[in-house]
Amino acid sequence: MTHLTLKNISKQFGDFAAVKDFDLDVKKGEFVSFLGPSGCGKTTTLRMIAGFEIPSHGKITINGNDITEKAPSQRNVGMVFQSYALFPNMTVAQNIGFGLRIRKEPEEKVQKRVSEMLEIIHLQEKGNSYPYQLSGGQQQRVALARALAIRPEVLLLDEPLSALDAKIRISLRAEIRAIQRELGITAIYVTHDQEEALSISDRIVVMNMGKMEQVGTPFEIYNFPTTRFVANFVGSLNTTDVEVSDVGQGLLNMNGILLRTAEGTMNKKKGDKVKIAIRPERFNFASEQKKDNVLDCTVENITFLGAVVRIQVKIGDTKFNMDTFNNPFLELPKIGDKDQVTCSKEAVLVLSD
Amino acid sequence: MSLLSRLRRVPFWSAVWFILGALYFILPLLATFEFSLSMERDVVGFKAYEVAFADKEFLQTFGYSIFLASMTIIMSIILIVPTAYWIRLRLPEARRLVEFITLLPFVIPAIILVFGLIRVYSAPLNVPFTDLTIIQPLTNYKFGTNILIIGGYMVLGLPYMYRSVDTGMRTVDVRTLTEAAQSLGASWYTIVVRVILPNVRTALLSGALLTFAIVVGEVVLASFLGVKAFGPYLFLLGQHRAYEPAALSFTSFLLTWAAMGIIQLVTGGQGQVAGGH
């Protein structure tokens, strides 16, 4: 059942269109991430849901109720900010209970809810501490508890982990996801970190220059990007221009080298120029596996990345990166070696623009 | 760590400049104090203080100045806190203009201000094109004069009050705090009273202290508006007495220090409350 709906949302700042024709239905309990580079409109969209910005066009509904013009304080939407935004003059418990006291809930209920939230975020012993006495990760957990304490219809998270160091980021994102699942709350998460979005979300909305580029599950976004932007932004990717050679067989001509694809040529005709994308990990050396595309190559460069080794190969005139797991018992090729690489036809993605 | 080992860690030249600076301020104060104790020939005592405090006019003028200072501070807070808050929140482009306006009292002498006030407000406010008076000249009655002088003092204290409040608001990122409070359902009143004001408390107290010091010692506005405030009283006393003005000046210093001590006490000596980062 649709819980949050954004219908044809646009936002203009003077002549600048920050968000254009944004349509999204979010189910109850779903975790949706807005992913994109700085200035793509993801935070503006989130702020419109929160009520800090009013859309220039369009409608926002929660549970069917139009909230487009409602004040932020009337929306019952919880928000977690990048800078935590805890009230420095209040203790952790007072921060968490703030929204409930605003709602004039009985003090007994407030205390009970605060204790519950402190337990959920594993900070029972910090109730009387002030924000400045906590680490960044702890402060953000308190901010999360504060936003959840009011039992919001929707939880909004605006790059909540950006100010934290890498290790805490990973553990806290798992914690956020676990809490969200446990409480069954609808969540919208803004991030520019693709790994974060892929790991935490039910669905991802990839945004670019105020527009939605693609909406899909992390699996779909990563494996089947539909636009050049998504393909480039999510994960690392090889892209190149080719010409459609045979529509029926899905054959593509890359400067005289034939590549087979599984999809995307149906609405094309012979001779059309298209852009294709192949993930580095979809390539293998021919000796390991036989696949649809077997291509002669020369090894140009080898980069050790820890768990992965990135090998740059030249196929015809085009350079491709291929990733292989680091296996100390397998010998790597040497720079200048002539070899063959393969990839399945499903790995060759034809991009829509 | 012992005091001695802490002192050893202070760089030599820093200590020299600090001591020179401190002497520059403290020596004249000590001289004033020492002078105020020597009213009676060959006796060191508090005679000047006794005489000064026994004067009825002292208590009247000082009490009146404290009243004016308190009213100025209250009115300044009512005017400046919402203004500075709104500029930070919604009108950042107006900040430069407002900062320029707050600097004007440094450029325009108090004498110009007071003559302007007298010129404008010594005439009655009539209904246009009639002789029907709405407001009598403010300079003609005590309440009106109080309004004028408090207004004037608000102008004089504007640079200190506005800048203190604005700096305090910058330290706590009022914009995000406001949005956080709004998302939790808080009204504007609740946001200002329970979130913003407590977090700019130190800044407010600093601004209030400076305003208090300015108002209590102010002479020009009070003299020309003809009010019996502490500044003109001290000035007149200095015309024909020597020791009592010194005693009262030293007392004003003590009161200022006491006010600073109260600020430290109220804020727990931590200065501005830690920000939200």
Site of tokens 């936002």: A11
> Considering chain B, what percentage of its residues have pLDDT values greater than 90?
39
The alpha-carbon gap from A75 to the nearest alpha carbon of chain B, in Å, equals: 8
Of all helices (H) and strands (E), which one includes residue A197?
Answer: helix A194-200
Which region among A86-100, A317-331, B17-31, B171-185 has the lowest average model confidence (pLDDT)? A317-331
Scanning chain B, the segments in alpha helix (DSSP H) are 3-8, 12-36, 47-54, 56-89, 95-107, 110-121, 142-172, 174-183, 188-190, 197-199, 201-217, 220-224, 230-240, 243-266
Using CA coordinates, name the residue in chain A closest to B193: A89
The mean pLDDT value of chain A amounts to: 90
- For chain A, the straight-line distance linking the first and the last C-alpha, in angstroms and rounded, comes to 33
Asked if B186 has any chain A CB less than 8 Å from its own CB, the reply is yes
Angle between helices B47-54 and B56-89 (to 10 degrees): 80
Question: Average of pLDDT values for A23-43?
Answer: 94
Domains of chain B by start residue, with CATH:
55-267 (1.10.3720.10)
Question: Average of pLDDT values for A14-19?
Answer: 92
pLDDT band at A301 (very low <50, low <70, confident <90, very high): very high
The b-or-e profile of B118-156 (16+ CB within 10 A means b, else e) is beebeeeeeeeeeeeeeeebbbeeeebbbebbbbbbbbb
Contacts of A77 in chain B (CB under 8 A): 183
Q: Which residues contact A267 (CB under 8 A, 6 or more apart)?
A: none
Q: Taking CB atoms and an 8 Å limit, are A87 and B275 in contact across chains?
A: no
Question: Average of pLDDT values for B126-131?
Answer: 82
Residue B51 pLDDT > 90: no
> A83 versus A291: which is more confidently predicted?
A83
Residue B275's pLDDT is: 38
Phi, psi angle pair for A85, to nearest 5°:
55, 35
β-strand pairing of A154-158 with A186-191: parallel
The candidate with the shortest Cα–Cα distance to A341, out of A238, A271, A227, A272, is: A238
The two structure tokens encoding residue B53: 């405090």
What is d(CA B214, CA B156) in angstroms, rounded to the nearest whole number? 8
Using CA coordinates, name the residue in chain A closest to B178: A85
pLDDT (tens digit, 9 = 90+) per residue, B24-43?
988 999 999 999 998 888 88
- Global pTM reads 0.77
Q: Taking CB atoms and an 8 Å limit, are A102 and B183 in contact across chains?
A: no
Residue B269 pLDDT > 80: no
Range 12-71 of B in CB contact (< 8 A) with A:
none
Residue B12's pLDDT is: 87
Residue B151's pLDDT is: 94
Residue A353 pLDDT > 70: no
CB A7 within 8 A of CB A61: yes
pLDDT (tens digit, 9 = 90+) per residue, B251-266?
888 877 787 777 667 6
Asked if B276 has any chain A CB less than 8 Å from its own CB, the reply is yes
pLDDT (tens digit, 9 = 90+) per residue, A181-217?
988 999 999 999 999 999 999 999 999 999 999 999 9
The alpha-carbon gap from B221 to the nearest alpha carbon of chain A, in Å, equals: 39
Residue B276's pLDDT is: 36
Q: Taking CB atoms and an 8 Å limit, are A86 and B179 in contact across chains?
A: no
B184 vs A71, A98, A163: nearest CB: A98
Q: Taking CB atoms and an 8 Å limit, are B276 and A98 in contact across chains?
A: no
CB B227 within 8 A of CB B165: no
User: Cα B170 to the chain's mean position, in Å?
Assistant: 21
Residue A78's pLDDT is: 93
The two structure tokens encoding residue A274: 């298209």
Asked if B277 has any chain A CB less than 8 Å from its own CB, the reply is yes
Using CA coordinates, name the residue in chain B closest to A98: B184
A-B contacts (CB, under 8 Å): 83
pLDDT band at A10 (very low <50, low <70, confident <90, very high): very high
A50 vs B183, B195, B198: nearest CB: B183
The b-or-e profile of A223-234 (16+ CB within 10 A means b, else e) is bbbbbbbbbebb
A83 vs B187, B199, B276: nearest CB: B276
The alpha-carbon gap from A168 to the nearest alpha carbon of chain B, in Å, equals: 16
pLDDT (tens digit, 9 = 90+) per residue, A206-255?
999 999 999 999 999 988 888 888 988 888 888 899 998 888 888 899 98
pLDDT (tens digit, 9 = 90+) per residue, A106-142?
999 999 999 999 999 999 999 999 999 999 999 999 9
Residue A135's pLDDT is: 92
What is d(CA A200, CA A218) in angstroms, rounded to the nearest whole number? 9
Question: Average of pLDDT values for B80-92?
Answer: 91
CB A188 within 8 A of CB A46: yes
The two structure tokens encoding residue B87: 């500029």
Q: Taking CB atoms and an 8 Å limit, are A87 and B185 in contact across chains?
A: no
Which ipTM value was assigned to this complex?
0.81
Rounded-to-10 torsion of CA B176, B180, B186, B187: 30
Q: Which residues contact A295 (CB under 8 A, 6 or more apart)?
A: A257, A259, A315, A340, A341, A342, A343
> Considering chain A, what percentage of its residues have pLDDT values greater than 70?
97
Sheet strands (E) in chain A: 2-13, 16-27, 31-35, 57-62, 65-66, 77-80, 154-158, 186-191, 203-208, 211-216, 238-246, 251-254, 257-260, 273-278, 284-285, 293-304, 308-315, 318-325, 338-343, 349-351
